[in-house]
Amino acid sequence: MHVVMTGATGFLGRALAMALLEQGCELSVYSRDPAKARRKLGGQVAAFSAWHDAPTQADAVINLAGEPLIGGRWTARKKDRMRASRIGTTHGLVQWMSRMQLRPDVLISGSAVGYYGYSSDQVFNEHDAAGSDFGARLCADWETSARAAEALNVRVCIVRTGVVLHRSGGALKRMLPAFKLGLGGPIASGQQWFSWIHLHDWLSAVLFLLSKNDLSGVFNLTAPQPQRNADFSQALATALGKPCALRVPAFVVKMMAGEGAELLLNGQNVMPNRLLENGFVFSRPDLAHALADVRGS
């Protein structure tokens, strides 16, 4: 299978690229820096920086490109970059597919649970509407740009991803230093929902959707046991054999992240209904299993 990817050098993209290569797939990646992409992913990967240099044929496309949401304040310039890196890249990708004589069978395109906005009591599933904050509108517009490929008779799967846990990267890697020192703890009240998924299950879910020719539409990529932030913090501290006594005040988060602090101060309880209904089995459905290997990090 020949797969074309965007976002292949990020935390999730690189892990998925390695999994695809292990399965014997041919991999081509869109990157602003093709040489860097080849260094990160290996010489067997073809890399290009413009859609007119993209392959003329592909069996599947996986679209994960996007400026990170966490890290730095959400200035007007950063917001523009977040939109352009997602919506602009996806538009270019769909335009490339429209010019192909033989189009890919499937497009798996990224999104996030931020699509639903924030709630302390609602349980969200794939049929719920988008929220109204910037992050929710960003996800909704990103999804709309990807679903344009449906008009090309391409099977489209939108993956709304929660916080992906693995000691090698992402949010957990950023949390571990403080928690290892016994300085970790809940953020603000700790009552905000934390919808998460282990990296192994995220990879398995994407490969599951890639292989299931009868599945399309939206899928929540979250574990079936979301937790409150305080409960997650306690579970992580316990897994490391450390206390969980300190709390990060809300004003500190707001000073550091500005509007982006909403991602940390609020949350959503998101369930993977469509994955479960279609027979996907989680290997790490609970935090005890998901955090079992953090001591070795």
Query: pLDDT tens for residues 5-44?
Result: 999 999 999 999 999 999 999 999 999 999 999 999 998 9
Residue 182 has pLDDT above 60, yes or no: yes
Provide the β-strand partners of residue 169: 166
- Tell me which residue range forms the domain holding 259: 2-296
What's the chain's average pLDDT? 94
pLDDT at 216: 98
Residue 79: pLDDT band with limits 50, 70, 90: very high
Distance CA 245, CA 233 (A): 10
pTM equals: 0.96
pLDDT at 245: 86
Distance CA 122, CA 100 (A): 43
pLDDT at 296: 59
Q: Percent of the chain at pLDDT above 90?
A: 88
Q: Quick one: DSSP state of residue 184?
A: -
CATH code, 59:
3.40.50.720
Residue 293: pLDDT band with limits 50, 70, 90: confident
Q: What is the per-residue DSSP string for 227-274? A: EEHHHHHHHHHHHHT------B-HHHHHHHHGGGGHHHH---EE--HH
pLDDT at 294: 81
**Would you give the distance in Å from CA 11 to the centre of its chain?**
9
pLDDT tens digits along 213-249 = 999 999 999 999 999 999 999 999 999 999 998 999 9
Q: Percent of the chain at pLDDT above 70?
A: 99
**Would you give the distance in Å from CA 183 to the centre of its chain?**
27
pLDDT at 263: 84
**Count of domains for the chain:** 1
Residues 135-156, mean pLDDT to the nearest whole number = 98
Query: Per mean pLDDT, which of 31-40, 69-78, 105-114 is the most reliable?
Result: 105-114
CB of 73 closer than 8 Å to CB of 257? yes
Rg from Cα positions in the chain: 19
